[in-house]
Chain A
Amino acid sequence: MSWAAHDLEPYAFQRHFGRRIAFVPLLVGSYAPDMLSKWFVYGINVFGVELKADDPVQFHRGWPGVGFTHSLAFGLLIAALILLVSGSRIWAFSFLLGHWAHSLTDVGDTIGTMLFFPLSTETIGIGAWAYAGQVGRTLDAGAYYSGLGFVWDGFWIAYGLLSWRVLTRAYFRETIVAADPRFWGWCGRWLPETALLVLYRTSFFYGSTRWAAWLIWAHVVHDFPFDLSWGGPHWIPAAHD
C-alpha cells in the first residue's frame, strides 16, 4: 500500500489537467479503494472487542475480499454511476482518474492489486516496497517509512512543491472553482473563501506533514533501520502474492 502518495497525486494531476478535472471527485477517487476497508485491515477496538480481518492481506487485496475495489473495472463502474446520477462528465472522469492512480500506485508493493478483476483475480505488483498491513498499522508505518515507499511519497511531495502554483488562492479561484462552480458555490454559502482554500489544500498538508512526522517517529524517536533495497525493508515479514 502507499501512504502519502494518495494524498498528493491529485495535485500533480491538477497541475496538468487544469479546468478539465474537478478536484473533489479526483480526491475522493484517490482515496476510494481504501475508504471503507482500511480500518478492518489494521483492526480497531470497539468497547474491548477487536474487529479485524482474519486474513488482512486476502481481505484488502484479494478475492474473496474487497480487493476488487482496487481494480480498474471498479473505478469505471463507480465513475459510470457518478455520470448516471450527477450527469457530470467532469465528475465521472475526475473520479476515474483519482481511482486509477490509486490502483496503479498500489502496484508498487509486494502484493499488488487485482487490476483486471473480474477478468482475473491475479494481483499485479512490482514489489518495490513491502506490504505489511497484516502486522498492524504502527509497525506498518515503521516499515513503509524505512523502505522505498517513503521515497515514492517523497517524490510526490517534491513534485507538489514544484507545482506550488496549484496551491495558490489565484489558482483556486481561476481553476478549481471555475472547473466545479456548483460544488464550490454551494460550499461558499456556508464557509468563507479562506476556509474553502484550507479544505482544498488539506490533503497536500496532510500528506506532506505526516510523511515528515512518520519519518521522524520511525528514525529519530524509534530506531527502525532503513532498507532501500527492492522489496524492503526485509526486516518486516512482508506479504507476497
Chain B
Amino acid sequence: MKAASFLSGELRLYLVAAVVYIALGVAVPDFLWSWVEGAAFLLVAVWIVPELVRRLR
C-alpha cells in the first residue's frame, strides 16, 4: 500500500524532475557540478511548484 502510493504520487514528480535535470545537465554540464544547485532544483520541482499549483487551483 505504501509502495503503491509512493509510486502513484511522489515518484511521478521525482521522475519528471529527473528527466528535466538530466536533459539540462546534458545540455549545460556546468549545471551538474553543484550539489546545492541540485538540491535547489529538486526543491523547486517537487515542492515549490506543486505547492503553488495546489494553491492556485
In the assembly, what is the distance between CA of A168 and CA of B47, in Å?
16
Tell me if B's interface is mostly helix, strand, loop or mixed. helix
Contacts of A203 in B (CB 8 A): 35
Report the Cα distance A117→B9, complex, angstroms.
Answer: 49
Chain A 5-41 interface 0/1 with B at a Cβ cutoff of 8 Å (1 = within)? 0010000000000000000000000010000000000
Contact for B25 among A138, A198, A202, A217, CB less than 8 A:
A217
Q: Check if A206 is an interface residue, CB within 8 A of chain B.
A: yes
Contacts of A208 in B (CB 8 A): 18
How many B residues touch A, CB cutoff 8 Å? Answer: 22
- Candidates A138, A168, A195, A206; contact of B35 at CB < 8 Å: A206
| Residue total for A at the interface (Cβ-Cβ under 8 A) | 28
Whether A206 lies near B26 (C-beta < 8 A) is: no
B10 / chain A contacts, CB cutoff of 8 Å: 169
The winner among A198, A210, A214 for most chain B CB atoms within 10 A is A198
Residues of B within 8 A of A169 (CB): 6, 10
Instruction: Please provide the 4 A-B residue pairs with the shortest distance between their CB atoms, ordered closest to farther.
Output: A213-B25, A206-B38, A202-B39, A213-B22
Task: Please list the residues of chain B having a beta carbon within 8 angstroms of any beta carbon in chain A.
Answer: 2-3, 6, 10, 14, 17-18, 21-22, 25-26, 29, 32-33, 35, 38-39, 42-43, 46-47, 51
Q: List 17 A-B contacts (CB under 8 A).
A: A7-B35, A31-B35, A169-B6, A169-B10, A170-B2, A195-B47, A198-B42, A198-B43, A198-B46, A198-B47, A202-B35, A202-B38, A202-B39, A205-B18, A212-B22, A213-B21, A214-B29
